[in-house]
Amino acid sequence: MKKRRLLLLITVIAICSILASCSPQDQPAGQLDYEETKKMVVDILKTDDGKKAIEEILANDDMKQNLIMDQKVVSDTISKTLTSEKGVEFWQKTFEDPKFTESFAKSLKTEHEKVIKGLMKDPEYQEMLIKVLQNPEMEKEMTKVLQSQEFRKHLQEVITETISSPLFKTKMEETLLKAAKEMQQEGGSSGGGSEGGGGQSGQGGGQSESGGEGGQ
DSSP letter for each residue of 71-88:
HHHHHHHHHHHHHSHHHH
Residue 59 lies in a domain: yes
Residues ≥6 apart with Cβ < 8 Å to 162: 168
Residues 138 and 153 reside in one and the same domain: no
Q: Is residue 167 part of a domain?
A: yes
Residue 63 lies in a domain: yes
Q: Is 165 helix (H, G, I), strand (E, B) or coil?
A: coil
Within 10 angstroms of residue 30's Cβ, the number of other Cβ atoms is 15
Q: Is residue 201 part of a domain?
A: no
Q: How far is CA 62 from the centre of its chain?
A: 36
Low-confidence ranges of the chain (pLDDT < 50): 23-27, 29-30, 207-216
The HSE-up count of residue 213 (CA atoms within 13 Å, CB side) is: 6
Is residue 37 in some structural domain?
A: yes
* In a shared domain, residues 6 and 62: yes
pTM of the model: 0.27
Residues 127 and 160 in one domain: no
The predicted structure's pLDDT at residue 1: 52
Phi, psi of 157 (to 5 degrees): -65, -40
Closest CA to 16 of 46, 30, 36: 36
**Residue type at position 46:** K
**Total number of domains in the chain:** 3
How many CA atoms are closer than 13 Å to the CA of 73, on its beta-carbon side?
Answer: 3
What is the distance between the alpha carbons of residues 138 and 145, in angstroms, rounded to a whole number?
A: 11
Q: Is the CB of residue 74 less than 8 Å from the CB of residue 63?
A: no
Q: How far apart are CA 41 and CA 47, in angstroms?
A: 10
- At 24 the three-state DSSP class reads coil
Position 212 in a domain:
no
**What number of other Cβ atoms are within 10 A of residue 9's Cβ?**
21
Q: Indicate whether 62 and 117 sit together in one domain.
A: no
Range of the domain at 173: 149-178
| 7, 63: one domain | yes
Give domain status of residue 123, yes or no.
yes
Q: Please check whether residues 33 and 11 belong to one and the same domain.
A: yes
Same domain, 17 and 35: yes
Neighbour tally for 74: CB within 10 Å:
10
Residue at 82 is within a domain:
no
